Amino acid sequence: MRSKTLVPLAAVAALSLALAPAAAAARPHIEDGILDDVQLMADAVPGGAPVVVRPFSTDNADLGTGEEGGKDKRVAVAQQMKDECPLLLATHFVTELKKLGPFPEVSRADGDQAPAGAIVVEGEVVLLDPGSRAKRYFVGFGAGKSKVEVKGTIKGADGAQLAEFRHRRIGAMGVGGGKSEKKMIDDCGSIGEDLAEFLSAWAKGQPLKK
What pLDDT is recorded for position 172?
Answer: 61
Every domain of the chain and the residues it spans: 27-204
- Within 103-179, residue ranges assigned H as helices are 133-138
Looking at domain 27-204, its CATH architecture is: 3-Layer(aba) Sandwich (3.40)
pLDDT tens-place values along the chain, 210 residues long: 444 444 444 443 444 444 444 444 467 999 999 999 999 999 999 899 999 999 999 999 999 999 987 788 999 999 999 999 999 999 999 999 999 999 999 999 987 778 889 999 999 999 999 987 444 433 343 446 999 999 999 999 888 999 999 999 998 654 444 578 899 999 999 999 999 999 999 999 999 987
N-terminal to C-terminal alpha carbon distance within the chain: 61
Q: What is the pLDDT of residues 95-122, one digit of tens each?
A: 999 999 999 999 999 877 788 899 999 9
pLDDT score for 178:
55
Q: What is the pLDDT of residue 161?
A: 96
Element containing residue 150 per DSSP (H, E) = strand 147-155
What gap in Å lies between CA 188 and CA 171, rounded to an integer? 11
Distance CA 82, CA 96 (A): 22
Q: At 129, phi and psi to the nearest 5?
A: -105, 115
pTM comes to 0.81
> What is the tens place of the pLDDT at every residue in 176-189?
445 788 999 999 99
Helix (H, G, I), strand (E, B) or coil at 88: helix
